[in-house]
Amino acid sequence: HGLVFALLVVICAASVALAVLQRAQSLALIASLGGFLAPTAEPFLYSIAATVAHGQVIADVEGAVLEECARVAADGPTPEEVRKVLAQLKARFVFDAGSVTDLAHQLGYFATIATWQDWGTIGDRLAAVTPEAVHAAARQYLAADNRTIGIFEPTAAESEAR
């Protein structure tokens, strides 16, 4: 059930990223935020990357990210967060089938994570995703024991080179 896993993790991760972005922007902590997940047949890495706004403290940004991960794991994403992410994913799949070449790419990619036939059922699978299923994925995959945190802080010389 690699596709189910991939969908749940993508939705969970996007919910976390959306919540972190909204919170961090309201606190003026970040200059940018992004997430990345390569859907695979087996569990893989989900990455959240944040660029700290000038004059802000790295630990505050890290805290905001970790707090949102903990919130989503504890409470689950809101139905509105899941609705937004599902709408974005649906649009993405429409966009990714914009040409014969794009569709061929998607069919080939789906063959690597599940079966190429799964492409035809993606709309129904997305429609079946519930906030409860995303919450279950969040509880399982956003646990602190699953986390590796890396921080890159430029040296003074690197900062001055800008």
What would the pLDDT profile of 23-34 be if each residue is shown by its tens digit? 666 667 777 777
* Residue 145 per-residue DSSP state: G
Read off the pLDDT of residues 123-135 as tens digits, 9 standing for 90 and up: 888 888 888 888 8
pTM equals: 0.72
Structure tokens at 75: 């409470």
Q: Give me the helices (H) in the chain, please.
A: 2-26, 58-75, 79-95, 100-113, 122-128, 131-141, 156-160
Give the pLDDT confidence score for residue 74 in this predicted structure.
Answer: 92
